[in-house]
Amino acid sequence: MSRMKENSLVAVLLTAGMFLLSCALAFAQDNSSQAAAKPAASIDQDISMLRKDIRSQRKQLIAANMSLTSDEAEKFWPIYDQYVGELVQINNTKYDLIKQYVQSSGSLTAEQADNSVKQWLGVDQSVSQLRMKYVPIFRKVLSAQNTALFYQLERRVQLMIDLQLASQLPLVEP
């Protein structure tokens, strides 16, 4: 990858990161200050809108940084959409955990804490399995280099999202 393209990627990632951070901050602040007063349906709607925005930004970021031929793009994007659809299903568990945790204000019983740890690790494991499942599927339509680039971009974006969400959640009270 050329130095100019790397700088462009960094700039795009920083811009996307700032956008995602502002969304995460707004979400966390809104939910921590109003969780008790806000009905669950409203919280669900807020989370749903945030997730839709994140998916849109993720797709734009990947499109801006992958040099796909028209033939590759025609084959890649439907597979990408299928991949994201499966990822959304896995992440439903993650966002349910976040919602439950915010509503509990970080105060968990021993049983809730044990279940939470197991569920978080299960989500991580499921995402890893999904990525492994799609390597050969993406590889059928992309070069090895473009497949690697896609996974680099995907992981960077996901790590930014996870870091921003995690940094906004209060720590569990012992």
Q: What is the pLDDT of residue 156?
A: 92
Do 169 and 31 touch, CB atoms closer than 8 A?
no
Nearest to residue 173, comparing CAs of 94, 104, 118? 104
pTM above 0.85, yes or no: no
Q: What is the pLDDT of residue 47?
A: 67
Q: How many whole angstroms separate alpha carbon 73 and alpha carbon 70?
A: 5
Predicted confidence pLDDT, tens digits, the chain (174 residues): 454 454 454 444 444 444 544 544 444 445 444 444 556 666 677 767 777 778 788 899 999 999 999 999 999 999 999 999 999 999 999 888 888 887 777 788 889 889 989 999 999 999 999 999 999 999 999 999 999 999 999 999 889 888 888 888 888 877
- How far CA 7 is from CA of 14, 98, 150, in Å, comes to 10, 34, 17
